[in-house]
Structures are given as structure tokens and as C-alpha cells.
Amino acid sequence: MDGGAFGAGKAGGAFDPHAFIRQPHTLLRLLSWVFSIVVFGSIVNEGYVNRLDETQEHCIFNRNRNACNYGITVGVLAFLSCLLYLALDAYFPQISSVKDRKKAVLSDIGVSAFWAFLWFVGFCFLTNQWQASKEEDNPMNEGGDAARAAITFSFFSIFTWDYMDPSQDSGMPYAPYTNDEDATDAVGTYQQPPPADAFDTETQGYQTQNY
């Protein structure tokens, strides 16, 4: 019954990079990867400013260093997670064990939900601290675009980490977890009926007798 579950029946197929890149599931991973770079890159490069009478720089989000640290940390870890799961997607067709494939799918679902939650928290946190920021703390209005970019792409990241079942893209020849033929196997093994010629072959040599 589980012989073809999660695409295990087609394990070992050749890797097709063009089909792999075209999958919506892969494109979401790449978008998450890019968005994470924008978030932590914006904060690292322009997320710290100082008043005219100060030399020490403070976080642009209400001078709250925790806000900047959160955005940078989540962005960097999300960046690494995207790379890890892109590698897993590419390697997935080589996994022949149904149990291992099931673990990979469940891990993907859990991680996607986890990161969607972290980005939601980050969006709310950064937005709140940006609204609470005082104009006198940044009289030159430096880093405003970077702060807004970090907030905007934190919001977009919530949806790119929303788990999408790759089997919904089964029309593509390289769905990493399952495909049309495997979906039939996941429900139950389907065997084609033997051709009609097989019955003729089996009955050769047997002669009926007339009474």
C-alpha cells in the first residue's frame, strides 16, 4: 500500500535542473532566500544611525537593539534554511525509503510553519518599533528606506514560507515529493490487466474434447 507513497516508486530518476527551477515550490524557496537577504542586508548596512551630537550608533527601530538583532538573526537563519531545503528538494528523488521521504515532508511542513510564524512576529515587532521611533533620534532621516524594506519583506516572507504541497504541481515532470503516477500508488498498487493475448498463450496445447 505504501510502495509508491511520497513518490518512492520513482526514486532514482535523473536530476533535471530546468524542470526543478520551474516548479512553484522551488520558486517560493528562492523568493524566501532573496527576501531574507533583503531583510538582514538592509538592517546590517543601514539599520544603525546616530544623532548629530552622538558618535555611537543605535538601531533605527526606536533605538531598540533587540529589534535589529531579531531581524538580522531571523534573516540569516532563514537564508541558511532555504539553502538546506533547496538541497533537500534536489536530493529528494534519490531517496527510495518511504519512511525517509515521509520524514522529509513532515519536516518541510513543520519548518515552513515555524518560519512563517517567526516572520509574522518579526513584521509586527519591526513595524511597532518603527512607528514608535522619534524623529529627533534620526534628524537626517537616514536608513528610512532600509527600515521600510526590512518591514515590507518580512511581511512578504510570511507567505513565501507558507507550505505548498508539491503534489499540486504534479503536471511538472520533477515534482520532488510525488507525481501523477505515484499518487495512484499512494492509494494502492494498481496493476494493469493482462493483455488478451496472454489468455490465448495459456490455453495453447489444451484441446477440448467433444462428447
Kindly report, residue by residue over 119-148, the tens digit of the pLDDT: 999 999 999 999 999 888 887 778 899 999
Give residue limits of the domains in the chain.
5-189
H/E element, 126: helix 98-131
- C-alpha cell recorded at residue 28: 517560493
Closest CA to 43 of 122, 161, 134: 122
**pLDDT over 80 (residue 26):** yes
Distance CA 75, CA 39 (A): 6
Q: What is the pLDDT of residues 82-118, one digit of tens each?
A: 999 888 888 877 777 888 888 888 988 999 999 999 9
Is residue 47 within 8 A of residue 146, CB to CB? The reply is: yes
* Mean pLDDT, residues 156-183: 58
Give 167-174's long-range contacts (Cβ < 8 A, gap of 24+). 169/23, 169/24, 169/25, 172/19, 172/22, 172/23, 173/16, 173/19, 174/16, 174/19, 174/20, 174/23, 174/93
What would the grid cell of residue 56 be?
555611537
Q: Residue 59: its pLDDT value, please? A: 93
For 5, residues 6+ apart whose C-beta sits below 8 A from its C-beta are: 98, 101, 102, 182, 185, 186
> In the numeric block, which cell numbers belong to residue 100?
525517509
What is the value of pTM for the model shown? Answer: 0.69
Closest-CA residue to 185 (of 207, 196, 203, 170): 170
